[in-house]
Amino acid sequence: MFLETNHHYAPFNPRTYEKGLTMPDERTITPKGYEENPDLLPAPRSQQTYNALTFTLMMFSMNTCIPMFFLGPIGSQLGLDLWQALVGAFIGNLAAVIVMWFNGQPGIKYGVSFPVQLRESFGFKGIHLPIILRGAAGTVWFGVEAYAGSLALMMIVFHAIGTPAEQVTPMAIKYLLIALFVYLGSFIVVMRFGLKGIGNMANFAGPLMLLYFIWLVYFLATSEQFAPNIPKMFVSKTGYFSMGFLIYLAVQTNWWATVALNVSDLSRGINPDKPQAFPIGLFIGIVICQVLGTALGYSAVALTGTILPQDIILKYAPGGAAVVIGLLFAFLAPWSTDITANAPPLINILMATLKMRWKLAVVVSAVVAFFASPWWAVENGPTYVNYITTWASNYGILLGPIAGIMIGNYWLLRNSHYDLQKLYTYGPDGCWYSNGWSKAALISLGLTWVACYLIAWPTGQLQYVSGVPFPGGVTWYPAVILSLAFYVGFAKVFKE
């Protein structure tokens, strides 16, 4: 995550870097040939404070969101039983976490953010393409999560004033705009606190949401009304080697195809003396959490026949207090996810491409999210959210090749070592390649996209979103490998 540079939360002065003076951690950088955005300078060692517990809880909060509970029902719709859905969740998320581990190491070692890390592989000017692709996906999710959280907040209000249960959701949707202002306003306040504000917030939201749903699903499964539906969860209509299972792997893996790119924005806050925090946080906070969330979402929908998690809480949680607490968590979960996962890529665009400072970029990102949130769709808002969830199974193919290129650059071409000064030098002495653009990265990116279509088409893995074909199924996996191989080869050809 980015660093706030006010005197409360950043015991360093960006101008000190500009003067090239020695810092306590000896991470001295002098931007050359251009004026650097101070918020894109390396994180001082004094601000790399996350330990295993903090980072794990942060991953939990980032992972726990309303759309996550749709992953189980998606498996059911594809014909998978509960066990198959859990296996798909484990494999799909483990694959994404492995890529994240490889890609997040520069953040820990050098304290650099995603835009700066990209300079080595795409060139000083070429970074804007991957930043925009990643930021666009994050912006869409930012809007969807803001919608989900604001809906939950508005449902609390109408439930509290005694609105009949069947009228709560329609009324909440009608007046959702009010809650959206509260949601985005609170987002702005927390984001302006930087790393410490995010770390403190992340200690609570995700785990509490999961604990609540564990209790709710247990309550439903042991009730006379819903217990007879339990056997239905173990009826499989397809196999592990079926297209349905492959599509489900794509859904689970693509869920993290976005964060797999800009994971350094998060890992740069980890204490380099405690590197074990990174794999522990990724495995427990993402893989285990996602498996658990899949089980809860699958079970809750199978037991009740209701899709929207907020509606399940409203209609079936026992007692008014349980409803209010559940909806409060349903607000906190997407809120924390936006803070840790969805907003940073948009802020990356604003800071790296438009040269905005952190505080202004936070406010502008909230404005963009306001219009990305489907409040304007009124009654069709839930349909819009469901559409985006379906889209999540396909857009990862655009981002997987970028991860492969970044990994190939750091681990194979640079032998896990960056020249930090080179990352902050504009011109031939920096990451310049062909006038600031990496031919190897751009050609590899395009060739990988083409290759994925050539793989998906004959194998029946093309998926259509509003008539647009995307390589689906498991093509994300070869996309990462192919892009890495293409990039390493072309980099040697072009001597990059």
Mean pLDDT of 375-393: 65
User: Tokens 């217990």 identify what position?
Assistant: 227
Q: Tell me the average pLDDT of the chain.
A: 86
Sorted by sequence, the CB contacts under 8 Å of residue 244 that are 6+ apart come out as 78, 79, 80, 237, 238
Nearest alpha carbon to residue 248 among 81, 408, 401 = 81
> Concatenated DSSP letters for 340-366?
IIIHHHHHHIIIIIS---HHHHHHHHH
| pLDDT at 210 (0 to 100) | 85
Confidence of residue 12 (pLDDT cuts 50, 70, 90): very low
3-class SS of residue 424: coil
Mean pLDDT of 108-137: 94
Sign of dihedral through CA atoms 394, 449, 136, 194?
positive
Sign of dihedral through CA atoms 403, 406, 407, 412?
positive
Left, alpha or beta for 51 (phi > 0: left; psi -120 to 50: alpha)?
A: beta
Look up residue 382 and give its two tokens: 């839930």
The percentage of the chain sitting over the pLDDT mark of 70, rounded to a whole number, equals 88
Look up residue 381 and give its two tokens: 């808002």
Domains of the chain: 47-395 (1.10.4160.10)
Look up residue 28 and give its two tokens: 């001295």
Would you say residue 58 has pLDDT above 50? yes
Q: Which residue has the higher pLDDT, 253 or 308?
A: 253
Between CA 77 and CA 307 the distance in angstroms is: 12
Would you say residue 9 has pLDDT above 70? no
Would you say residue 91 has pLDDT above 90? yes
Between CA 27 and CA 279 the distance in angstroms is: 25
Between CA 315 and CA 472 the distance in angstroms is: 35
Residue 263 half-sphere exposure toward CB, CA atoms < 13 A: 30
Between CA 331 and CA 366 the distance in angstroms is: 16
Look up residue 26 and give its two tokens: 């000896």
Q: Would you report the helix, strand and coil content of the chain in percent, each value rounded to 5?
A: 70, 5, 25
CB–CB of 470/397 below 8 Å? yes
Rounded (5°) CA angle 456-412-109: 110
3-class SS of residue 14: helix
Between CA 177 and CA 172 the distance in angstroms is: 9
Sorted by sequence, the CB contacts under 8 Å of residue 424 that are 6+ apart come out as 29, 30, 31, 32, 36, 41, 116, 430
Which amino acid is residue 245, in one-letter code?
F
Confidence of residue 3 (pLDDT cuts 50, 70, 90): very low
Rounded (5°) CA angle 256-397-480: 80
Would you say residue 230 has pLDDT above 80? yes
Mean pLDDT of 104-115: 96
pLDDT tens, position by position, 273-282: 999 999 999 9
Which residues on adjacent β-strands are paired with residue 32?
425
Burial of 397 (0-12, 13-18, 19+ CB in 10 A): buried
